[in-house]
Every structure is written in C-alpha cells, then in structure tokens.
Amino acid sequence: MSASRIRFFSLLRREVNRFLKIKRQTVGAPLLETFLYISVFGAALGSRIDKLHGIDYVVFIVPGLIMMAWATNAFSNNSSSILQQKFLRAIDDQLSSPASPIQLLLAFSLGGFLRGMTVATLTFIAASILIGVPVEHVLVLIPALFLVGFFFAQMGVLIGVRAEQFDDVSFAQTFVLQPLIFLGGVFYSASLLPEPFQTITHFNPVYYMIGLVRYGFLGYSDTNIALSLLFLTAATAALFAFNLRLFNRGWKLRA
C-alpha cells in the first residue's frame, strides 16, 4: 500500500475508532431514539391514524426515520469530532502531517458517513423485523441514502470547522437541522398540509431527500424523483467543493 493510502486510511480509522469507542452514545442512543419514534408515532399514535396514500402509517414514517438517523448521525459525528480535536489542538497532529486537504476532508466526512450508515442499517434491520419494510426501488434508494449521508457529513464538517465552542454545534443541530428534518415530512405527507405550509415545505431541501428515500422504500413520493436526485447531487457536490476550498485555505484550521 502506498504511503498516501496508508495516510488516508489512518485518518479514517481514527474517525471510526472514535465513534466505536463510545458506541453506547454514538450508536446505541440513536438506535433507542429511533425505536422510541417508531413506538410512539407508529405503534401508539399510528393505530389511530388511517392509512396514508394506501400505506400503513407506521410503515410510512420508517423511511423518513432511517434517513433522519443517517443524516443526524453523520452531522453530529463530524461536527463534534472536528470541534473536539480543534478544542484540544489534537488536530495539529493531522494538520502537520503530509496529508493533503482532500484526504483530511474525505476522512473527516467518511467518519460521520459510516456512523450514519451503521445506525441507519441497524434501524432498517430492526424495523424490518418489527413491522416489515418493503424496498421497492433499490436503484433509487441506495444513491439517495448515500447522497443524503454524504450531504449531512459535509454539513457536519462545515459546522465543526466553523464552530468556536460547543454551543455553536448544538445551535446548528437544534435550531437548523432538527426543524428542517421534522418539517420536511418525516412524520407526515406534505401533500396533506394546508396552504401556505405546503408551498413553504417545497423550499425545504430535506423534503426532497425524504421524498427520494420514501420512493426507494415504498414506491410513493410527493416529489419528482429525477429532479430531486439532480438537486441533491448538485447540492452535495457544491457543499463538498465549498468545504474543499476551506480546507485548501486552512480556514479556521490553520492560523
């Protein structure tokens, strides 16, 4: 293996090792949280809600929960990992190594991406056992989930690099990420909303992400699939390019 590959895999191994060392917090807690959502919104409240677009309510919300698990874990892992390392200046060990900006960015990004994928996969397995979840369009589902995971991994990197204190990360998570996800239609179909909320929802990027993932699992979506995929690909590529530019400049990483 070349020195460059060893370097990249060491950077990535460090990120994966970090979340595995605290797996009760990084994997166990999000799994429990998703299980509680399924129990409360699906089993308890869902039994009183009629089918949505011909699909049982508890099944209808599972794609959104899987997407939410991937998105929030990718985001929180990367933002916390980078901020912690910046805070302790432990990141200097990586920054003073011969690793290139793109290697650093990819390693930080993929750490959260893999944590999100782990939690989302476990959520899918648990939901499949508990309630049975179909997979209607796997060729849409896999690229959609990968793009969502990578998009939020990039968001996490951006917030982690920008953050000066832990409050900055929790602010982004609580006041930006969570509202976008919850109001994007995880627990309902946007087509049921009255105006002007239905139109407002169309300006929420998470709405299109949920639409894609729901189509991949259930074969139903409120959104145009091709346009949503195109939009998500463009948004992810733009965010990655933006982060790479920051890493090349060393913004908030190198003095």
Give me the residues that bind other proteins (CB under 8 A), please: 1-4, 6-7, 9-11, 13-14, 17-18, 21-22, 85, 88-90, 92-100, 249-250, 254-255
Residue placing its CB nearer to other proteins in the complex, 27 or 180: 27
Give dist(CA 50, CA 104) in Å, integer.
48
Q: What share of the chain is helix, strand, coil (3-state, %, to 5)?
A: 80, 0, 20
* Least Cβ distance, residue 20 to other proteins (angstroms): 10
Neighbour tally for 244: CB within 10 Å: 16
Residue placing its CB nearer to other proteins in the complex, 92 or 136: 92
* Least Cβ distance, residue 162 to other proteins (angstroms): 14
Helical pair 57-88 and 29-37, crossing angle rounded to 10 deg:
150
Residue placing its CB nearer to other proteins in the complex, 65 or 110: 110
Chain centre to alpha carbon of residue 171 = 17
Give dist(CA 236, CA 205) in Å, integer.
11
* Least Cβ distance, residue 16 to other proteins (angstroms): 11
Residue placing its CB nearer to other proteins in the complex, 3 or 226: 3
* Least Cβ distance, residue 21 to other proteins (angstroms): 6
Residue placing its CB nearer to other proteins in the complex, 16 or 130: 16
Nearest Cα to Cα of residue 67 among 20, 25, 129, 127: 127
* Least Cβ distance, residue 38 to other proteins (angstroms): 31
